[in-house]
Every structure is written in C-alpha cells, then in structure tokens.
Structure 1
Amino acid sequence: MLKFANAKINIGLHVTERRADGYHNLETIFYPVKIYDAVEIQSAEELGMEIHGSELKADDDNLCLRAYRLLATDFDLPPVKIHLLKRIPIGAGLGGGSSDASATLQLLNDQFKLGLTDTQLETYAAQLGADCPFFIQNKATYAEDIGTKLSPIDLDLSAYYIVLLKPDLHISTAEAYKNVIPLTPQVDLRRAVQLPIQEWKLIIKNDFETGLFELYPQIAEIKRRFYELGAIYSSMTGSGSAVFAIFEQETDVSELNALGQVFLPMDL
C-alpha cells in the first residue's frame, strides 16, 4: 500500500511558556501544503526500511519504524518493508518526518484492518512527536500545548498559490528554542486568520523569526524577496529554515533559485 505524506506550514507561531519538563507550550495554526513524500508498505520476512532521495538513515530512531513498533506493542503485526521516498526537506519546519510517521500508522491500520479511529490514531501519533497528530486528519488546525492539543479551524487557502523556499541551512529545534523568549501572545490567532490575508503581515508572526533572522540573515532575505515579488503574506514556517509565501495567483519565483531550493505546489 502507498500513501503520499504532505508537508505543513505554520501560520503564526507563539511560544508562550517553558514547561517544567523542558518542553515549551505554544500556539499555532497548522495548514497542509501540497509537497509530498511517498510511503509504501510491503509484506516482508522481517522488518526493514529503505529510504530514497535523502541521506536519512533507516535506523531505530526513524519515525516510520518507531510507528510500526508502537502499534506492534498492541497488535500482532506481521513484518513489513517500509519504502520512503523523500521530497520534503529535513530541518525545514515542514513536518516531513512527522507526516511520514502518521502516514505509516494509517497504512498499517488500513493494510491489517486494525479498525483504529482517527482519534485513536492521533493518540498513537502523539507518542511519536508533537506535530504527528495533525497529519492524521490533515486539515487546518489550531494547536496548543506542545502542539498536540488540536482544534479544527475554518481556513481554506485553496484559491491561493503557496510557494516555499528552503535555504541551504539545517536548523535544529534545540537551536531555534535557544533563541526565543516565551511571551504571552498579544494576538488571538484564531481571530487573526479570519481577517483578509492582506492584513496578516501586520499582526501574525512567528516568534522564532526574531532570533533566527539575526543568526541567519539569508532567511530574512528570502522573506523580503517574496514580498518584492508580490506575496500577500510570507513567513518562516515552524522553527525554520523554510519560508513560505502566499500569492493571489500563480507567480514566477525562479529568480529566487539562487537563495535555496524552491518548492512549488503539486496536485496529485
């Protein structure tokens, strides 16, 4: 069985509090975008995995293998071979690994007729990573706590053209959080995204940008250039390093290829 695992962007991201367990509470809006990895599961004599299109290693820390082992603790799963074709870049804030893990849970649920509901799959996904539960239902979602408390939100950007650009940078989550100061947000994201998109750039922000733009001015440059090309909203996504831009219509951004890898939306 085969499933295409899409990326996500964060529309607004507020880091609100450092928790006693070392994690941070946040609030953000997750939105799915049309950039995909492909995950395939085949019957096999023993559990294994192959990764194509990336230098990622298929070791015990891989989220897809962890997803299999998580379900195998509760279900008598036969061994499988997982094939992963990577297109979503790592260290970009696009949630590719989380999406792949959630796709693996869904594939195993379907292939072996486990009968798990979306709510149950989200519970398993939360054990793999903070972004993972979002990818089960894969709809615009307001997220709180560490990103696992999810509430649906009415947001449809299908009429717009969304482009992403990833510079040749890998930013670790630890590095990103080291350069952010938790604050009580001044803006309610749920209300803010109901405003015209043209107003978003005045009020919706990603708290990680301030510190990371100082360390990596090339990320700030990408955002600036997107606006020069006519974007109505642009932001770094997640903890970086990718930047997305929303345009009112399809736009030629080829002149930005010198700044990094450009990702255009792809319909399946």
Structure 2
Amino acid sequence: MIQFPNAKINLGLQLVEKRPDGFHNLVSCFYPVHWTDALEILPTKGEATFTLSGLPVPGEPTVNLCWKAYQLLRRDFELPSIQMHLHKVIPMGAGLGGGSADAAFTLKILNQQFQLGLSEDALENYARQLGSDCAFFIRNRPVLAVEKGDVFQAVDLNLQGWHVLLVYPNLAISTAEAYAAVSPQFPKKSLETLLSQEVSTWKGEVVNDFEKSLFPKYPVLAEIKQQLYELGAQYASMSGSGSTMYGLFRTAPASPLPFPADYSVWQGVL
C-alpha cells in the first residue's frame, strides 16, 4: 500500500507561555498543503526493513519516526514483518511537519492494511507519543492547535481555491534553536478572532512569533517574505519554527519566480 504524506503550514503561531515540563503552550492554525512525500508499506516473510530515497535523511533508520511508529504499534499488536520505503520530498527542518506526517501516515497505513480497527481518536493518541504535531495528520484537516500543538479545536476557516507558494531556502532550523530565543507572552487578540477576518487584513496582525527572533539571525527569511508580497501575496509568513516562507495569493504569481535555483519551491491550490 502506498500513500502520500503531505505537509502543513502554520497560519499564525502565538507562543503563549512556557510549561513546567519545558515545552511551550502555543496557539496556531495548522492547514494542510499538497506538497507530499511517498510512503509504501508491504508485508514480507523476511526481516522487517526500512529504506529511503529522495532527499537525504540524517540518522540511522531506527531513529526515523516511520520506523518508531511501526515499533510503537508492534508493542500492542501482532504485526507481520514489513518492507517500508519512504521517498522524501518535503524538506526537513523546514517548519512543514513532513517527518510528523510520515509517522502519522505510517500509523494509518498499518491500521488499514492489517485491519487493526483503531479509531481516529486512538490513532491520534499513538501519534502524540511520536511528536507534538504528529496527531494533526491523522485527520489532516484545518484545526486550531493549542497547548503543545497536539490538542485541536475546530476552526471556521476555508481557504479553498487560494493559491499557495512555499519557498524553502535550504536553511534547516532546529526546533531547539528556534525556541532558544523566544519570549512567550499572551496575545492581545486571539488567533481565532484574527483568522475570522479577511485574508487581506492578516498582514501585520496574524503573526508567527518565531519571526521576531529568527529574522535578525537569518535575514534571508525577511527578504523572501518581502519578495512574496512583491509578487502579489495577500499574506506571507514563516511556517512553524522555520525556515519555509509561504505566501497566499488570489491567483498564481507570474513566472519566472525570483528565487535562486538551489531553493526548494512548491506551489499549488489549497
């Protein structure tokens, strides 16, 4: 069975407070986009294997979230050996949740392929053990994410038909680095209220709090954001803890795009 784990963008990201466990409480809207990896899982009579292609993935296969997802379910179910192959397309360290999506889709494929009978709630509980935003990709629909980003609330937001342009400048920013310089605070306006307004009003209002600390350190990110507005974006922002920048457009921006050839660029319709 083959499926295509997709990325997500963050529409606003408010860092509210630091938690006693060292994590941060946040508020963000997670919105799926169609930039995808490819994940294939087949049963085998031999030894279980996990192989990779596409973008190079650091670390041994045993530390990959896909493999961890398989091992997590094996603790509770008698799963057969599998051949698992991941073709990596979504950049890593990019704020797009690609690794989390791969893990969540592993859980969903195993549940479907081997008829484990797990509900979406149960799959989300497994996904939360793998990473804070993994659970989002179980249902894979727009939500308002709160607490560590793993508790979800319904959000009345429909961007269907909007064009999105994602630009990754091949600059990986670790989550630890991104959080090291932030100063959490409660926002003056709730993100839900801000997102209920027209997209054209979001500029300067719907803010990713990581931009304040990361833009001075990586000026290229602010430069890309400005370029997206110059291309006609109604709204532009950094996704997650970086470093992908994205813009929302009424219609596709005109070509050629002004980004270097070594950047990863993807565009499509929401």
Shift of the 185–253 alpha-carbon distance from structure 1 to 2, 3 Å rule, reads farther
Corresponding position of 1:8: 8
1:118 paired residue among 117, 120, 123: 120
Consecutive unaligned residues in structure 1, runs of 5 or more? none
Corresponding position of 1:77: 79
Alpha-carbon offset, residue 168 of structure 1:
2.0
Q: Is the 8 A contact 2:43 2:82 kept in 1?
A: yes
Shift of the 266–77 alpha-carbon distance from structure 1 to 2, 3 Å rule, reads farther
Corresponding position of 1:97: 99
1:56-95 Cα offsets, whole Å, 9 max, x none, are: 1452210000000111111000011111011110010000
Residue 256, structure 1, aligned to residue 232, structure 2: no
**AA of the residue aligned to 1:52:** S
1:265 paired residue among 249, 264, 268: 268
2:152 paired residue among 143, 146, 150: 150
RMSD of Structure 2 on Structure 1 (CA): 1.3
1:126-178 Cα offsets, whole Å, 9 max, x none, are: 00000101000011000111011111212111211001000121100000001
Consecutive unaligned residues in structure 2, runs of 5 or more? none
Q: Is the 8 A contact 2:160 2:269 kept in 1?
A: no
Shift of the 266–142 alpha-carbon distance from structure 1 to 2, 3 Å rule, reads closer
Shifted more, 139-148 versus 250-259: the winner is 250-259
Shifted more, 20-29 versus 100-109: the winner is 20-29
Q: Is the 8 A contact 2:8 2:97 kept in 1?
A: yes
Residue 168, structure 1, aligned to residue 178, structure 2: no
Shift of the 253–179 alpha-carbon distance from structure 1 to 2, 3 Å rule, reads farther
Q: Is the 8 A contact 1:235 1:245 kept in 2?
A: yes
1:199 paired residue among 176, 198, 201: 201
Alpha-carbon offset, residue 201 of structure 1:
0.8
Q: Is the 8 A contact 2:100 2:133 kept in 1?
A: yes
Residue 49, structure 1, aligned to residue 50, structure 2: yes
Corresponding position of 1:131: 133
Distance 2:15 2:216 in 1: 18
Distance 2:112 2:60 in 1: 23
Alpha-carbon offset, residue 205 of structure 1:
0.1
**AA of the residue aligned to 2:56:** E
**AA of the residue aligned to 1:208:** F
Alpha-carbon offset, residue 266 of structure 1:
7.3
Alpha-carbon offset, residue 257 of structure 1:
2.4
Q: Is the 8 A contact 2:163 2:269 kept in 1?
A: no
Instruction: Give the structure-1-normalised TM-score.
Output: 0.97
Q: Is the 8 A contact 2:92 2:98 kept in 1?
A: yes
Alpha-carbon offset, residue 256 of structure 1:
2.5
The total of aligned residue pairs comes to 267
Q: Is the 8 A contact 1:229 1:253 kept in 2?
A: no
2:211 paired residue among 200, 209, 212: 209
Corresponding position of 1:28: 28
1:220-267 Cα offsets, whole Å, 9 max, x none, are: 000000001110000000000000100001113533221722112279
Q: Is the 8 A contact 1:49 1:58 kept in 2?
A: no
Question: Percent of aligned pairs with the same residue?
Answer: 45
Q: Which consecutive segments of 4 or more residues in structure 1 shift more than 6 A?
A: none
Q: Is the 8 A contact 2:162 2:269 kept in 1?
A: no
Distance 1:170 1:74 in 2: 35
Distance 2:48 2:34 in 1: 30
SS in 2 for 1:265: strand
Alpha-carbon offset, residue 119 of structure 1:
0.6
